[in-house]
Structure 1
Amino acid sequence: MPLKAVSVWETKKRYSGEEKGFVEEMRFVAMKLHTRDQAKEGEKEDPDVQPLAKWEPSIEGYIRFLVDSKVVYDTLESIVNEAAYPVYAEFQNTGLERSEKLSKDLEWFKEQGHCIPEPSSPGTSYASYLKELSEKVPPAFICHFYNVYFAHTAGGRMIGKKVAGKILDSKQLEFYKWDGDFSQLLQNAREKLNRVTQSWSREEKDRCLEETEKSFKYSGEILRLIVL
């Protein structure tokens, strides 16, 4: 008898108990898609992903990254505020919003004499995908919401610090600052995510988890702008 194929989230059930809530399921699947250089739980092998220590960022590339990131955050925050589905309204004013912070950073770069380009394909493509997805499949959209915001609070902060040390005299941008107790903001968001997903069927949860790889793909394309 042939062995049944086991999906990554089915495997997950044996390693991170569902009793911790659905956020733990999302975190587990996301961690497996990191390389070992990015996270100790990472399993992905990708020769095209250069270790962070070897990055050679440029001001121009970093600005492109910030511009495209802003397009994505603008879209996420617009979707949440318009709340076409009631579940989206739960994530209004979490304190994790980044659009306004990015506006301040881009204005600062402009004041330093740098040209602020128009958004490029990585950012606009991801924004278009998010808008379409949010209108059709709420569980899949929630996956992107979780991964974009939570990745920025973890690996994103580390990347920001490394890049700033190389090209900005270690200046901390507003993008990496939060108002209020940062750990409490994250905990509040986790609790909301666990609460709204508690009533989801297993099929809806699996549909959310299936979207993780696309979230990494789109975000990775924007991240790579830093070193292009």
Structure 2
Amino acid sequence: MKGFVDEMRAVAMKLHTKDQAREGEKESVDPPIAAWNPSVDGYLKFLVDSKVVFDTLESIVTTALHPSYGGFKNTGLERSEQLSKDLEWFKEEGYSIPEPSKPGIVYSSYLQQLAENDPPAFICHFYNIYFAHSAGGRIIGSKVAEKVLNKKELEFYKWEGSLSQLLQSVRIKLNHVSSGWSREEKNHCLEETEKSFVYSEDIIRLILS
């Protein structure tokens, strides 16, 4: 039986560009990853701002601002601790760690707002952030590492145990939570997908800054 996560995935896939996914419908504005010319400084900005977003998501579910968030604690997909270790490694390598910048700060504050007032929209972002990182995010990570980090694999891209099992377990939880929503709430959640892409893309573009 198909659950609501299948609907979320279908909407998200259409928002990919044609070169990112088979189901993609968007024309690409940015160059493909293979043609990127990243710098370590840009990559650090991306990691710092990503950490701001993951810190926010993880504190929201830990404090369970809304009862439906409680089931998303300790899913194994959390990234905050891994990013701390990565930033520590960069520091030991002699790089200076930048302060969080506008894309991460703005997205974090938007997520906090949604978490308090709009659970279906918040869940949309939760799903898209974690699932995108486990797919396209990993591809970006390995391409950038190849170009600027001598192929070093960061903790950000490592998970304990089987990633596909962790994702499946979160899919089940997402389907369970959304099963209590009206069709209107489900549609509202799906409509939020585009915003989650816009915010995430602003953070990804930091890699090239």
Please report the TM-score for the alignment, with normalisation by the length of structure 2. 0.98
Distance 1:118 1:26 in 2: 33
Distance 2:183 2:191 in 1: 12
Match of 1:176 among 137, 146, 157: 157
Q: Deviations over 1:110-164 (max 9, x none)?
A: 0000010100000000000000111000000000000000000000001101111
Q: Deviations over 1:27-52 (max 9, x none)?
A: 000000010111111001242x2111
Distance 1:86 1:50 in 2: 42
Q: State the shift of 1:196 in Å.
A: 1.1
- How many residues were matched structurally? 209
Distance 2:203 2:36 in 1: 15
Where does residue 30 of structure 1 map in the other structure?
12
| Structure with the greater alpha carbon radius of gyration | 1
With 194-203 and 96-105 compared, the bigger mean Cα shift is at: 194-203
Q: State the shift of 1:107 in Å.
A: 0.3
Distance 1:60 1:204 in 2: 41
Where does residue 151 of structure 1 map in the other structure?
132
Where in structure 2 are there 5+ consecutive unaligned residues? none
Where does residue 23 of structure 2 map in the other structure?
41
Distance 1:135 1:45 in 2: 34
Where in structure 1 are there 5+ consecutive unaligned residues? 1-18
Q: State the shift of 1:198 in Å.
A: 1.0
Where does residue 99 of structure 1 map in the other structure?
80
Q: Deviations over 1:65-112 (max 9, x none)?
A: 000000000000000001111100010000000000000000000000
Give the alignment's Cα RMSD to 1 decimal: 0.7
Alignment of 1:215-226 (within 5 A): 215-226=196-207
The percent identity for this pair of structures is: 69
User: CA contact under 8 A between 2:86 and 2:156: conserved in structure 1?
Assistant: yes
Distance 1:192 1:201 in 2: 17
* Larger RCO (CA under 8 A, 6+ residues apart): 2
Alignment of 1:55-204 (within 5 A): 55-204=36-185
User: CA contact under 8 A between 2:18 and 2:28: conserved in structure 1?
Assistant: no
Q: Deviations over 1:158-194 (max 9, x none)?
A: 1101111111111100000001121111110111111
* Runs of 4+ in structure 1 over 4 Å off: none
